[in-house]
Amino acid sequence: MGNYNNVRAIKQDGIEKKRAFLIGGGVASLAAAFYLVYDGHMDGKMITIIENLPVLGGSMDGSGDEKRGFLIRGGREMEEHYECSWDLFCHIPTIENPSRTVLEDLREVNRIDPNVAACRLMHKCGEKIERETLGLNGHHIMQLEKLILATEEELGATKIKEFFDESFFTTDMWYYWRSMFAFENWQSLVEMKRYMHRFIHHLPNLSRLRQILFSRYNQYESMILPLQKWLEEQGVNFHRNVQVTDMALDILPDSQTVIAIHLVKNGETTIVTTTKDDLIFFTCGSMTENSTLGNMSTPAGVNRGPGASWELWKKIATKGPSFGRPEVFCDHIDKTKWESFTITCTDSPMVDLLTKLTGRDPYSGKLVTGGIMTAVDSSWLLSVTCHRQPHFTNQPENAIVLWAYGLLPDNVGDHVKKKMEYCTGEELLRELLYHMGAGDLTEAIVASSTVIPCMMPYITSQFMPRIKGDRPEVVPKGSVNLAFLGQFVEIPGDCVFTVEYSVRSAMTGVYTLLNLDKQPPEVYPSQYDIRVIAKAIKSMHGESHVPGEGLIRYLLKDTSMAGLM
């Protein structure tokens, strides 16, 4: 969608009579509520968002204070071509300065202080790896090219580890890739392929994370709260601490209509009757469902119990084949879990350690690590990041907040000989400090830190190998009033584990159910840009010549295309 088509949709007849029920209070539902008001011209009072938790924002959380310690289950790397997300946030004023939008603020922060990783990879207890190339050999490059040319149908449910040679998994490319995007070797090759296409323009920047964007504060404060405030001002209703346990559907041979929603609050069930005039949006599946927290002296453990979104999706999936197969994603906790931990350091020599590793002053208000630093020889495959400080608006001046995670939590640590789920916050920090080379600073850093561990059983469930039909369409064929949103729906060409995917699902759902003459923006087509392809191929070859490069240079010499190589 170029600017010509980016106009507000025309108001549809009968919109006044419609109600919308959004099950889930993550960014997917909040975005859908925005588009119902903005493009759908729906009165906010007719929209109800139903969330099982006491807070909105879902996976984009942020909480805490100096005393308890701060907590983010995750931090988001974003990029310029989150076309749907920036379409949304160019309309939402910031909390601090209502005359500026969230997009304007984010762009300004990143313009003044553009991201560059100071120490992307390290090993041997805090020794920086200085290489910038991807470390691929000719065979790895051929395999990557083969992956790009393959169709999703022929790859089916193939796992990444079944496609590449063993040696690929020790290349710098794979360390950059898996730690940045959080892929496990046993996960979906098709999703990795989608990432290759969708983010091909980032291939030359993997070692320095240039062009990656971060919000001013954590994304709960910088993105969710402003969006929530905008929706509140429109009169949108928020029902927190309410679980949707079932939906009744009228299933006919060629149509399905939701006719009732079952809500449970404080153990009491209410049934809301719906008609074809009502719209129901369900965020099916959640990567942060059943997260468990620990503290300095208590491990996070793992919650293997049922969760609101998976239970509801499983129930609905039994009612029609077009509603997907949730068990493909949620029934493999030991393949989908990993653990993160948020570290709050007050008057701490952590500042000295970070300055040593990055050459930057954590108190400068500018970027510190510049994205994640990954310890490639860590058994848990630990990564840690320290964003611009303060990371929370209520953070004291003498505190810094870091976020770390281990992609392989079932391995025993190198310094702390335990799996992550059994480690206290202190033990997680000690293992991290070992890999950061803290040495003599260790005890003083531990003494000045508060760590909140967070185990997420489903954090990479969206990457599990899948085939067509495992994920429902946003609006399944024949669905009269039900749309599926979030990370577990099928959207051709875009990539899961992104805010963008959830916002795109929201736009798609609203435009389709309301039958609006408007499409979401195209997924950024850098994969078809010959300049991007040329740069990507060059970066795959590192310092060696691309085959045929000399001939192409010769042929293009003194022509208008000379700059291509």
Ligand X SMILES: Cc1cc2nc3c(=O)[nH]c(=O)nc-3n(C[C@H](O)[C@H](O)[C@H](O)COP(=O)(O)OP(=O)(O)OC[C@H]3O[C@@H](n4cnc5c(N)ncnc54)[C@H](O)[C@@H]3O)c2cc1C
Residues 328-357 that bind ligand X (CB under 6 A): 340
Which residue among 74, 349, 425, 465 contacts ligand X (CB under 6 A)?
A: 74
CB atoms within 10 A of CB 77: 16
Q: Which of 15, 38, 41, 77 binds ligand X (CB under 6 A)?
A: 77
Burial (0-12, 13-18, 19+ Cβ within 10 Å), 104: middle
Would you say 466 and 345 are in contact if contact means Cβ atoms under 8 Å apart? no
Known catalytic membership, residue 473: no
77 labelled catalytic: yes
376-407 residues labelled b (16+ CB within 10 A) or e (exposed) = bebbbbbbbbbbbbbbbeebeeebbbbbbbbb
Quick one: CA dihedral 84, 90, 93, 95, positive or negative?
A: positive
Strand partners, 404: 341, 384
Active-site position among 35, 175, 176, 195: 195
460 Cβ contact partners less than 8 Å away, ≥ 6 residues apart: 182, 183, 184, 187, 287, 335, 336, 337, 338, 497
Binding positions for ligand X, 488-507, rule CB under 6 A: 497-500, 502
* Cα–Cα nearest to 289, from 265, 301, 274, 307: 307
Greatest Cα pair distance in the chain: 77
For the bound state, the minimum distance from the C-beta of residue 201 to ligand X, rounded and expressed in Å, comes to 16
In this chain, which of 20, 24, 391, 406 binds ligand X, going by CB under 6 A?
Answer: 24
Q: In the complex, what is the shortest distance from the CB of residue 250 to ligand X, in angstroms, rounded to a whole number?
A: 20
Of the pair 441, 523, the CB lying nearest ligand X is at 523
Q: How far is the CB of 297 from ligand X (least distance, A)?
A: 23
Q: What is the 3-state secondary structure (H, E, C) of 404-425?
A: EEECCCCCCCCCCCCCHHHCCH
Give backbone dihedrals phi and psi of 523, rounded to 5 degrees, phi first. Answer: -60, 130
Q: Is residue 424 at the binding interface for ligand X, with CB under 6 A as the rule? A: no
Residue 402, classed as helix, strand or coil, is: strand
Instruction: Pick the binder of ligand X from 22, 28, 102, 464 (CB under 6 A).
Output: 28
Scanning 17-25, 37-45, 160-168, 426-434 for contacts with ligand X by CB under 6 A, the matching segment is 17-25
**What minimum distance in Å lies between the beta carbon of 527 and ligand X?**
19
- Among the listed residues 22, 60, 109, 134, the single contact to ligand X using CB under 6 A: 60
Q: What is the crossing angle of helices 189-198 and 138-149, to 10°?
A: 90
Residue 394 has which token pair?
């209520």
Closest by CA position to 17, among listed 518, 516, 514, 519: 514
Distances (CA, A) of 561 to 216, 254, 525, 534, 535: 39, 54, 21, 12, 14
Q: How far is the CB of 75 from ligand X (least distance, A)?
A: 6
Nearer of residues 280 and 441 to ligand X, judged by Cβ: 280
Q: Kindly state whether residue 455 participates in binding ligand X, applying the rule CB under 6 A.
A: no
Integer Cα distance of 396 and 381 in angstroms: 31
- What is the closest distance, in whole angstroms, from the C-beta atom of residue 151 to ligand X in the complex? 26
26 binds ligand X (CB under 6 A): yes
Binding flag, residue 487, ligand X (CB under 6 A): yes
Residues 353-412 that bind ligand X (CB under 6 A): none
Which of these is catalytic: 77, 152, 490, 549? 77
Number of residues near ligand X (by CB under 6 A)? 37
Give the CA distances from residue 406 to residues 293, 380, 433, 456, in Å, rounded to whole numbers and listed in that order: 15, 5, 13, 11
Q: Which stretch binds ligand X (CB under 6 A): 53-61, 140-148, 424-432, 521-529?
A: 53-61
Question: Which residue number, 353 or 459, has a Cβ lying nearer to ligand X?
Answer: 459
Q: How far is the CB of 141 from ligand X (least distance, A)?
A: 26
Applying CB under 6 A, does 23 fall inside the site for ligand X?
Answer: yes
Q: Whole-number minimum distance, CB 183 to ligand X, in Å?
A: 12
Task: Calculate Rg over the CA atoms of the chain.
Answer: 24
Q: Supply the angle between the helices 350-358 and 425-436 in degrees, to the nearest 10.
A: 40
Structure tokens at 518: 């408007």
**271-330: contacts with ligand X (CB under 6 A):** 283, 286-288, 308-309, 312
Give, as ranges, the residues between 212 and 271 that touch ligand X (CB under 6 A): 243-244
Judged by CB, which is closer to ligand X: 126, or 324?
324
CB 94, min distance to ligand X, A: 19
Which is closer to ligand X, CB of 103 or CB of 540? 103
Nearer to ligand X, 446 or 496 (CB): 496
Q: Distance between CA 485 and CA 282 in Å, rounded? A: 6
| Residues tagged active-site | 77, 195
Q: Interface with ligand X by CB under 6 A: which residues?
A: 23-29, 50-53, 58-60, 73-74, 76-78, 243-244, 283, 286-288, 308-309, 312, 340, 459, 486-487, 497-500, 502
